[in-house]
């Protein structure tokens, strides 16, 4: 039943994001917005159009003392942002009104951490508490979502969970919703840009999906982005800034070895075989990175393969965001569609499923039982039909006539049962009579009758008549002996079933001097 519960967990974890053929993706930062429209073309997107909408430097937030995810001044006027985006979007036509928004790292926080495995019903309370160790903001004024995977046991046998935890300030999320609404678009999802880029990389990955880890490094003209993931889930993400020109050797060195060590301490079961590079000046860094890491390095020209004029990291984020609704996403983190199903709802559905399973099983059992019964009766009917003599008697008869015939047969069966049972009962009465007759009594004649009207099949009463002699020293003794014999018969259990009364009489004609007297005994039911 545990496997069943896991399946329900996966079912309830599904976000209500529709699968489309066209979709818009908007990467949103404090510096600019990148809007792209893509169409699904096989396993890869077809880029229909891409625009960049730069924002005025005056819109840069001033809240230097606050963590980046809490800098909400940029969204103080979502209506003005919507006006800027609408002005740019009105210059061309768009084939979709559905949009997924990807938030820059300055506007959202994404962390991955490991914690002991626990039952799903405790996730809602325990995971946010654990996340406070890794996220430097209060969770009171933010919206968060998380995605959980159960990991294989570690070398010590401990079973743990992999948690991807995302946070966005509630004001930022509300402003995004208002901005999209003013644009006349339908907001499908809001996610961190790291998830969007991770989805893009998994989409263009030359290696098939497996349990092995993936290493992606993206080079822009001013920044370097490192992401280590496993099965599409980011385990570690880093953004490295450079001072000055990125075209020379002044570029900061990516500490890939240190990053891999950190990930392997958390997840020792994950192995890494290669590194994939995207961005600009890939040939410059391919050789040096291969020497540093000792892994095979592949450089992917996504601009050529997808027809992108720009291969900046932010462009990949906008494409990856739109790709979410054109495929079945591995990363389902979403700040908008948080109704993954509460634990209570899931448990209730699971209970209903179990009850339904039991009821269905019961009806299946009944169906099989009645089917077997029908099969048995069918065989019996075939046996009866093979005996044509029994069937011929009912041919040409109506239902009422057949019913009368059946009732007559039942009466005859009752009579036969009575006759067969009566033979045994009569022998029992004779045995009791022989056991209870005194030595001084002789039976000269005995009549036993059981009235049966064969014409009406009515069973009548039973009677027993006997004549005999009783010998006593005198008449008084003879009468005493005969009366005792009568009482024994009346009290005998076998006689009492059919004879409730015995009448005794003496015959004076047979009286002798020695006390010998003739008697008559009649047994029957009370009248």
Answer whether residue 64 shows pLDDT above 80: no
pLDDT of residue 424: 59
Q: For Cα atoms 485, 490, 493, give the angle at the middle one, nearest 5 degrees.
A: 115
Say yes or no: 232 and 320 in one domain. no
Q: Is residue 442 part of a domain?
A: yes
**pLDDT for 354-386, tens place per residue?**
788 888 888 888 888 888 888 888 887 777 666
Answer whether residue 336 shows pLDDT above 80: yes
- What size, in residues, is the chain? 527
469 within 8 A of 442, measured Cβ to Cβ: yes
pLDDT of residue 287: 82
Instruction: Specify the higher pLDDT residue, 280 or 420.
Output: 280
* Highest-scoring range by mean pLDDT, 246-260, 475-489, 498-512: 475-489
175 within 8 A of 84, measured Cβ to Cβ: no
Q: Is residue 228 part of a domain?
A: yes
Say yes or no: 36 and 156 in one domain. yes
Say yes or no: 295 and 306 in one domain. no
- The number of domains in the chain is 3
**pLDDT for 443-473, tens place per residue?**
888 888 877 655 554 555 778 888 888 887 7
| Domain final residue, candidates 308, 341, 374 | 341
pLDDT of residue 65: 45
Q: Is residue 376 part of a domain?
A: no
End-to-end C-alpha distance for the chain, whole angstroms:
74
Instruction: Specify the higher pLDDT residue, 173 or 338.
Output: 173
Q: Decide the pairing of beta strands 296-299 and 517-524.
A: unpaired
Out of 39-43, 114-118, 242-246, 436-440, pick the least confident. 242-246
Mapped onto helix, strand or coil, the DSSP state of residue 423 is: helix
Instruction: Give the range of the structural domain holding residue 481, as residue numbers without chain letter.
Output: 423-524
Q: Is residue 454 part of a domain?
A: yes
Say yes or no: 334 and 214 in one domain. no
Say yes or no: 232 and 97 in one domain. no
pLDDT of residue 346: 55
pLDDT of residue 283: 84
**392 is written with which tokens?**
């011929």
Answer whether residue 125 shows pLDDT above 60: yes
Say yes or no: 201 and 238 in one domain. no
**pLDDT for 388-407, tens place per residue?**
555 666 667 787 887 887 78
Strand order in the sheet with 98-103: 44-54, 32-41, 22-28, 98-103, 186-192
| Domain final residue, candidates 309, 341, 373 | 341
Over range 28-32, report the average pLDDT.
91
pLDDT of residue 66: 45
| Domain final residue, candidates 287, 314, 341 | 341
Say yes or no: 50 and 180 in one domain. yes
Average pLDDT, the chain: 81
Report d(CA 49, CA 308) in Å as an integer: 9
Question: Is the pTM higher than 0.85?
Answer: no
Over range 82-106, report the average pLDDT.
94
Instruction: Specify the higher pLDDT residue, 127 or 255.
Output: 127
Instruction: Specify the higher pLDDT residue, 20 or 185.
Output: 185
pLDDT of residue 56: 75
Answer whether residue 138 shows pLDDT above 70: yes
pLDDT of residue 194: 96
Over range 52-61, report the average pLDDT.
70
Say yes or no: 316 and 292 in one domain. no
Out of 39-48, 142-151, 258-267, pick the least confident. 39-48
Q: Give the rounded percent of residues in the chain with a pLDDT score beyond 90.
A: 33
pLDDT of residue 315: 96
Tell me the β-bridge partners of 114. 162
Confidence label for 188 from pLDDT (cuts 50, 70 and 90): very high
Say yes or no: 189 and 216 in one domain. no
Q: Is residue 478 part of a domain?
A: yes
Say yes or no: 244 and 330 in one domain. no
Confidence label for 104 from pLDDT (cuts 50, 70 and 90): very high
pLDDT of residue 317: 96
Say yes or no: 180 and 284 in one domain. no
Q: Is residue 187 part of a domain?
A: yes
| 94 CB-near residues (< 8 Å, 6+ apart) | 24, 37, 49
Instruction: Specify the higher pLDDT residue, 513 or 332.
Output: 332
**pLDDT for 306-325, tens place per residue?**
989 999 999 999 999 999 99
pLDDT of residue 248: 44
Confidence label for 175 from pLDDT (cuts 50, 70 and 90): very high
pLDDT of residue 4: 52
Instruction: Specify the higher pLDDT residue, 269 or 350.
Output: 269
Answer whether residue 250 shows pLDDT above 50: no
Whichever domain contains 461, its CATH number is 3.30.70
Instruction: Specify the higher pLDDT residue, 36 or 492.
Output: 36
Over range 15-19, report the average pLDDT.
60
Report d(CA 483, CA 477) in Å as an integer: 10
Say yes or no: 156 and 236 in one domain. no
Answer whether residue 235 shows pLDDT above 70: yes
Q: Quick one: 3 exposed, middle or buried, by C-beta within 10 A (0-12, 13-18, 19+)?
A: exposed
Whichever domain contains 274, its CATH number is 3.30.420.40
Answer whether residue 12 shows pLDDT above 60: no
Residue 389 to residues 67, 392, 394, 399, 406: CA-CA distances in angstroms?
100, 5, 10, 19, 16
Whichever domain contains 115, its CATH number is 3.30.420.380
Mapped onto helix, strand or coil, the DSSP state of residue 362 is: helix
């Amino acid at each position: 039943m545990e496997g069943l519960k896991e399946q329900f967990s996966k079912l309830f974890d599904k976000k209500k994001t529709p699968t489309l053929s066209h979709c818009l993706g908007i990467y949103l930062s404090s510096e600019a917005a990148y809007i792209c429209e893509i169409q699904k073309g096989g396993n890869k997107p077809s880029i229909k159009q891409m625009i960049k909408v730069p924002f005025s430097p005056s819109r840069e937030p001033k809240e230097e003392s606050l963590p980046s995810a809490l800098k909400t001044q940029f969204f103080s006027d979502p209506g003005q942002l919507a006006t800027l985006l609408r002005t740019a979007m009105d210059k061309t036509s768009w084939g979709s009104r559905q949009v997924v928004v990807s938030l820059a790292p300055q506007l959202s926080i994404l962390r991955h951490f490991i914690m002991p495995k626990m039952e799903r019903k405790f996730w809602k309370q325990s995971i946010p508490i654990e996340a406070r160790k890794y996220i430097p903001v209060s969770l009171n004024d933010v919206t968060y979502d998380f995605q959980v995977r159960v990991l294989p046991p570690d070398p010590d046998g401990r079973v743990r969970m992999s948690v991807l935890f995302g946070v966005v300030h509630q004001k930022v999320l509300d402003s995004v919703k208002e901005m999209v609404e003013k644009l006349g678009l339908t907001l499908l999802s809001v996610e961190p840009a790291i998830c969007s880029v991770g989805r893009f990389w998994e989409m263009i990955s030359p290696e098939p999906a497996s349990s092995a880890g993936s290493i992606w490094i993206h080079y822009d003209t001013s920044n370097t982005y490192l992401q280590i993931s496993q099965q599409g889930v980011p385990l570690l993400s880093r953004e490295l800034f450079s001072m000055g020109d990125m075209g020379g050797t002044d570029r900061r060195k990516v500490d890939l070895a240190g990053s891999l060590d950190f990930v392997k301490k958390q997840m020792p079961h994950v192995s890494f075989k290669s590194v994939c590079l995207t961005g600009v000046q890939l040939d410059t860094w391919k050789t040096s990175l291969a020497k540093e890491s000792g892994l095979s390095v592949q450089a992917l020209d996504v601009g050529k393969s997808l027809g992108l004029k720009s291969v900046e990291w932010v462009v990949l984020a906008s494409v990856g965001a739109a790709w979410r609704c054109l495929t079945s996403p591995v990363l389902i983190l979403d700040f908008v569609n948080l109704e993954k199903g509460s634990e209570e709802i899931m448990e209730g559905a699971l209970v209903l499923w179990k009850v339904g399973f039991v009821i269905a099983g019961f009806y299946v059992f009944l169906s099989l039982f009645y089917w077997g019964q029908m099969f048995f009766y069918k065989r019996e009917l075939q046996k009866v039909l093979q005996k044509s003599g029994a069937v011929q008697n009912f041919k040409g008869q109506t239902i009422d006539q057949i019913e009368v015939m059946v009732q007559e047969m039942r009466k005859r069966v009752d009579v036969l049962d009575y006759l067969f049972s009566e033979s045994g009962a009569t022998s029992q009465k004779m045995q009791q009579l022989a056991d209870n007759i005194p030595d001084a009594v002789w039976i000269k004649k005995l009549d036993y009758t059981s009235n049966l009207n064969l014409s009406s099949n009515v069973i009548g009463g039973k009677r027993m008549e006997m004549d005999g002699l009783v010998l006593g020293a005198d008449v008084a003794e003879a009468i005493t002996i005969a009366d005792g014999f009568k009482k024994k018969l009346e009290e005998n259990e076998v006689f009492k079933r059919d004879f409730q009364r015995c009448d005794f009489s003496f015959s004076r004609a047979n009286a002798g001097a020695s006390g010998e007297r003739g008697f008559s005994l009649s047994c029957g039911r009370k009248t």
